[in-house]
C-alpha cells in the first residue's frame, strides 16, 4: 500500500532537516519567522513522529525553510524521478563534453594550419616582391641546390613508379 502524503511529509521533512544539519528547534524557529507566528520545537517533533497533523501553511513554510519544493516533501517518487533525471542529464553532459573536446581540438588544428599557411604565403609574397621581374626568368639555382632538387625529384618519381630509391644516388 502506498504511504499517505502525511507519512511521506513527516519522513521527508526529517531527512531534509538532517541533511541540512539543523535541529528541530532551529527548523521551528525559521518556520515561525516565515509564518509570523510562534511555533514550538515540539510541534516539529510531533509532525516528524506523525502524532500531529501539519497545517498547509506550515507545510509551505517547511518547504521554503528547507529549500525544497513542497511536492518533494509529499511525494515518494519525486526524489527518485529527480535523481534519475539528474543521472541522465549528467551522462548527456559527459557525452557533450567529449564531443566538444573533439571539436575544440579540430578547431585548434585547423587554426594552426591556417596560421602556418598564412605565414608561408607571406614569406612567398615577400620573396616575390624582392625578385626583379625583368630577371625573374633568368633565375637559376646554385649547382649544389639544383643537384639536390633533381635527386629528390628522381626519388619521388621512382617511388611513385614503385621502384626503391637508391640512397647512394
Query: Taking residues 48-75, what's their average pLDDT?
Result: 92
Q: Is the domain of 60 the same as that of 112?
A: no
Flag whether the pTM goes above 0.85: no
Question: What is the number of structural domains in the chain?
Answer: 2
Q: Is the domain of 92 the same as that of 43?
A: no
- Count Cβ atoms within 10 A of the Cβ of residue 22 and give its class: 0-12 exposed, 13-18 middle, 19 or more buried: middle
d(CA 83, CA 151): 69
pLDDT tops 90 at residue 44: yes
Query: Taking residues 38-59, what's their average pLDDT?
Result: 94
Percentage of the chain modeled with pLDDT above 90: 49
Q: Is the domain of 52 the same as that of 96?
A: no
**Residue 134 is assigned to a structural domain of this protein:** no
Q: Is the domain of 97 the same as that of 111?
A: yes
Cell of 17: 532537516
d(CA 99, CA 106): 11
Q: Is the domain of 70 the same as that of 83?
A: no
Q: Which residue has the higher pLDDT, 95 or 134?
A: 95
Choose among 77, 28, 16, 17: nearest CA to 52.
28
Q: Is the domain of 112 the same as that of 125?
A: yes
What are the CA-CA distances from residue 15 to residues 5, 8, 18, 24, 151 (Å)?
15, 10, 5, 12, 82
CATH number of the domain at 65, please: 1.10.260.40
Domain with 22 in it: 5-74
Q: pLDDT band for position 77 (50/70/90)?
A: low
**Residue 113 is assigned to a structural domain of this protein:** yes
d(CA 32, CA 113): 66
Least confident of 4-13, 86-95, 131-140: 131-140
Alpha carbon dihedral 13, 19, 21, 26, in 10-degree steps, equals -20
Helices 5-20, 56-66: crossing angle, 10 deg rounding:
30
Q: Is the domain of 63 the same as that of 111?
A: no
Q: Is the domain of 23 the same as that of 84?
A: no
153 contacts: CB under 8 Å, gap ≥ 6: none
Q: Select from 30, 49, 74 the last residue of a domain.
A: 74
Amino acid at each position: 500500500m502506498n504511504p499517505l502524503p502525511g507519512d511521506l511529509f513527516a519522513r521527508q521533512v526529517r531527512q531534509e532537516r538532517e541533511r541540512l544539519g539543523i535541529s528541530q528547534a532551529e527548523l521551528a524557529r525559521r518556520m515561525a519567522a516565515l509564518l509570523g507566528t510562534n511555533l514550538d520545537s515540539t510541534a516539529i517533533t510531533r509532525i516528524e513522529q506523525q502524532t500531529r497533523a501539519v497545517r498547509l501553511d506550515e507545510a509551505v513554510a517547511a518547504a521554503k525553510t528547507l529549500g525544497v519544493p513542497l511536492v518533494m516533501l509529499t511525494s515518494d517518487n519525486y526524489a527518485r524521478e529527480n535523481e534519475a533525471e539528474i543521472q541522465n542529464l549528467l551522462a548527456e553532459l559527459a557525452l557533450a563534453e567529449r564531443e566538444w573536446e573533439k571539436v575544440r581540438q579540430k578547431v585548434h588544428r585547423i587554426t594552426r594550419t591556417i596560421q602556418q599557411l598564412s605565414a608561408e604565403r607571406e614569406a612567398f609574397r615577400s620573396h616575390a616582391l624582392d625578385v626583379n621581374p625583368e630577371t625573374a626568368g633568368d633565375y637559376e639555382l646554385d649547382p649544389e641546390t639544383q643537384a639536390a632538387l633533381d635527386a629528390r625529384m628522381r626519388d619521388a618519381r621512382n617511388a611513385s613508379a614503385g621502384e626503391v630509391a637508391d640512397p647512394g644516388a
